[in-house]
Amino acid sequence: MDSVLIIGQGIAGSVLSLSLHIAGIPFVVVDDGHKTSSSIVAAGLYNAMAYKRGNLAWRAHELFDGCETFYQKWEKEFKVKFLHRDGLHRRIHDAEEYNNWTARMADKNLAPFIDKLVSSDLFSDSFDLPQGLCKVRGGWLDVPLFLETTKDFLTERASYLEAKIDLSKLESREGKWNWNGRLFSKVILCTGYRSAYDDRFFSGLPFSLAKGHTLILKVPGAELDEVINANVFVIPLGDDLYRIGSTFSWVNLNEEVEEKEVEKLEKEFQRLCSLPYEIIEKMAGVRPTVQDQKPLIGESKENRGVWHFGGFGSRAVLYCPVLAESFIERLEKRSPEDTETSVDRKRL
Ligand SMILES: Cc1cc2nc3c(=O)[nH]c(=O)nc-3n(C[C@H](O)[C@H](O)[C@H](O)COP(=O)(O)OP(=O)(O)OC[C@H]3O[C@@H](n4cnc5c(N)ncnc54)[C@H](O)[C@@H]3O)c2cc1C
């Protein structure tokens, strides 16, 4: 059987490769060692609610259960725990927000994704949580661990290579794509935000990239076991370590850490938690965000056999598993194009 070349081993390339493995389709994944990876910076949070407005995320009913089932299946296979399904505690800022959450719990569309209202008594006094919290279903994926375990699995099967692919050097020959003397029936770009700079296959995709920072803090005495999501999120990593994030900015779209963004995060953390802390690590990455917030999935019209699987914005953990399955059906020509996620969408 012809083989598929996947370029990029972030969340998208990893989930897709595991799905191709299940489908019995041979493939090779090539990554440049995460040089421009958003995934290694990602907090890995997933839930079905939109962050600010509290309505449902795009296709939440279809995507949520499939997402958890996928990562749990691979946890069993790898015998490694990377999915933390303990729920997310959304800080309630004022009485109006409290009323909104109560109304959402009575809404039959939203109720399946909301667990309960939680008293602040369950958290250390060092956290400023005067109106309590609302626990929603979801959790977080330990993305670096998921990527590393997937890479080991692929390497053992000779399905992973570390290299940077120069897209301009991919050649089409008798309906196949040649990279380094190897022929592939299909090439799939899972190159994250770098796709925004690709003029060879998918020029003009409607990206609206957003840079983000996260920090790892050591906060002795916080005694937090579950995620709090306020103006910053706080994810417990064990040993008094917490991941804090994240910022949004639309300039300097690269992996360089900017001190003014770090200060923003620190300020928000200090508003939430009065305990002293030490910064252990600072990270920055670029989210492959799209103008209308929907992924970009499909085949190049001009270069048949070259596909794009990306544009997952801030929701790669939730989106990738179910969308990878439907993507493979399209790859095999068993289902038509999904216009909502089409790569032919134009810039607004
Ligand atoms: C601060 C921050 C917080 C975030 N928090 C969350 C969150 O809580 N939940 C969530 O779901 N998402 C979150 N995201 C978004 C998430 O990180 C992205 O949607 C996701 O990582 C995109 O995955 P990807 O595989 O498409 O791209 P990437 O992770 O960027 O992977 C692409 C890979 O391809 C490689 N590559 C690129 N070009 C080439 C080439 N020519 N040859 C070889 N290799 C190449 C890159 O080095 C990289 O390893 C966050 C992002 C940021 C920046």
SS (H, E, C) the chain: CCCEEEECCCHHHHHHHHHHHHHCCCEEEEECCCCCCCCCCCCCEEECECCCCCCECCCHHHHHHHHHHHHHHHHHHHCCCCEECCCEEEECCCHHHHHHHHHHHCCCCCHHHEEEEECHHHCCCCECCCCCEEEECEEEECHHHHHHHHHHHHHHCCCEEECCCCHHHCEEECCEEEECCEEECEEEECCHHHHHHCCCCCCCCCECCEEEEEEEEECCCCCCCCEEECCCEEEEEECCEEEEECCCECCCCCCCCCHHHHHHHHHHHHHHECCCCEEEEEEEEEECCECCCCCEEEECCCCCCEEEEECCCCCHHHHHHHHHHHHHHHHCCCCCCCHHHCCCCCCC
Q: What is the pLDDT of residue 1?
A: 54
- Does any domain span residue 48? no
Considering the domain architecture, whether residues 249 and 318 belong to the same structural domain is answered as: no
Within 6 A (CB) of ligand 1 lie 7-13, 30-32, 34-39, 41-46, 164-165, 167, 190-192, 194, 212-214, 245-246, 285, 287-288, 310, 312-318
Same domain, 225 and 327: no
How many domains is the chain built from? 2
Are 231 and 249 contained in the same domain? Answer: yes
d(CA 344, CA 44): 28
183 is a domain residue: yes
Alpha-carbon span 4 to 329, nearest angstrom = 14
CA of residue 190 to ligand 1 center, whole Å: 9
How much is the pLDDT for 337? 84
Does 219 lie in the same domain as 179?
no
In-domain check, residue 121: yes
pLDDT tens digits, one per residue of 72-123: 999 999 999 999 999 999 999 999 999 999 999 999 999 999 999 999 988 8
Q: What is the pLDDT of residue 334?
A: 80
Whether residue 214 is found in the same domain as residue 132: yes
Same domain, 243 and 194: no
pLDDT in tens, the chain (348 residues): 569 999 999 999 999 999 999 999 999 999 999 999 999 999 999 999 876 677 899 999 999 999 999 999 999 999 999 999 999 999 999 999 999 999 999 999 999 999 999 999 888 899 999 999 999 999 999 999 999 999 999 999 999 999 999 999 999 988 899 999 999 999 999 999 999 999 899 989 999 999 999 999 999 999 999 999 999 999 999 999 999 999 999 999 999 999 999 999 999 999 999 999 999 999 999 999 999 999 999 999 999 999 999 999 999 999 999 999 999 999 988 888 899 999 998 776
Handedness of CA 339, 341, 343, 347 (dihedral sign): positive
Last residue of a domain, which of 268, 287, 306? 287
Instruction: Read off the amino acid at residue 164.
Output: K
Same domain, 174 and 124: no
Together in a domain, 328 and 220: no
The pTM (predicted TM-score) of the whole model is: 0.97
Which CATH number do you get for residue 252? 3.30.9.10
Q: Is residue 324 one of the residues assigned to a domain?
A: yes
**How many residues comprise the chain?**
348
Q: Ligand 1 pocket check: which of 30, 39, 67 to mutate, most ligand atoms within 8 Å of Cβ?
A: 39
In a domain, 241, yes or no: yes
Domain-terminating residue out of 264, 287, 310: 287
Classify residue 55: in a domain, yes or no.
no
Q: Is residue 220 part of a domain?
A: yes
Question: Is the same domain home to 38 and 103?
Answer: no
Tokens 């990239």 belong to which residue? 209
Structural domain of residue 313, as residue ranges?
A: 4-43+144-205+291-341
Alpha-carbon dihedral 97, 101, 102, 108, rounded to 10 degrees:
150
Q: In whole angstroms, what is the distance from residue 5 CA to residue 167 CA? A: 12
297 plus 281 within the same structural domain: no
Same structural domain, 261 and 132: yes
Q: Does 76 map to a domain?
A: no
- Nearest atom (ligand 1) to Cα of 283: 1
The CATH number given to whatever domain includes residue 24 is: 3.50.50.60
The pLDDT score that the predictor gives to residue 54 is 73
If asked whether residues 132 and 214 sit together in one domain, one would say: yes
CA dihedral angle for residue 38, residue 44, residue 46, residue 49, rounded to 10 degrees = -60
The dihedrals phi and psi of 212, each to the nearest 5 degrees, come to -145, 150
| Final residue in a domain of this structure, among 242, 259, 287 | 287
Q: CA 307, CA 327: separation in Å to the nearest integer? A: 10
Ligand 1 mean position, distance from CA 105 (Å): 33
